[in-house]
Amino acid sequence: MPHAQAVGKRAGNASFPARQPLNRRDSAAWIPQRGFSCVENMDRDERLKRLRFRAWHRGVREADLLIGGYFDRWHEAWSEADMAWFEALLEEQDVDIMAWALGTAAVPERWQGEMMRRLRRLDYVRHFE
């Protein structure tokens, strides 16, 4: 049954539809700090485009080079589980990700594994002028 479109907040003369709750949690993926997301409904290319944008638009140039460079180097070989790992990693603070990659902070157990070992190699970072 389709939802009736509710009107949310008003900004000037424009009105925006209110957010609709997810009906089927089994078709959604859990992303820490954001709740359920329908990323599983995206095809692989759409999902990778979304990840690429998020990896290269962190807000700090150093993080862009580190995380975006990592994405560019490794994304083609990623499985669904690897993409889910990277999506969850993007929810972490840039300063934490950079500290783990540079070895200035211990990597939490939930992030340890081959993906983090690749991130820590830093052989994918390129300097653009």
Domain match, 36 and 53 both: no
Number of domains in the chain: 2
pLDDT tens string 16-35: 444 444 443 433 455 555 55
CATH number of the domain at 91, please.
1.10.150.250
How many residues make up the chain in this entry? 129
Whether this prediction's pTM lies above 0.75 is answered by: no
Which domain does 19 fall in, by range?
1-41
> Given this model, what pLDDT does residue 91 score?
96
Domain match, 114 and 78 both: yes
Rounded to the nearest 10 degrees, what angle do helices 80-89 and 44-56 cross at?
A: 30
Domain match, 56 and 21 both: no
pLDDT of 74 above 80: yes
> Given this model, what pLDDT does residue 47 score?
95
Q: Which residue has the higher pLDDT, 25 or 75?
A: 75
Confidence of residue 113 (pLDDT cuts 50, 70, 90): very high
Domain match, 31 and 62 both: no
pLDDT tens string 44-72: 999 999 999 999 999 999 999 999 999 99
Domain match, 1 and 35 both: yes
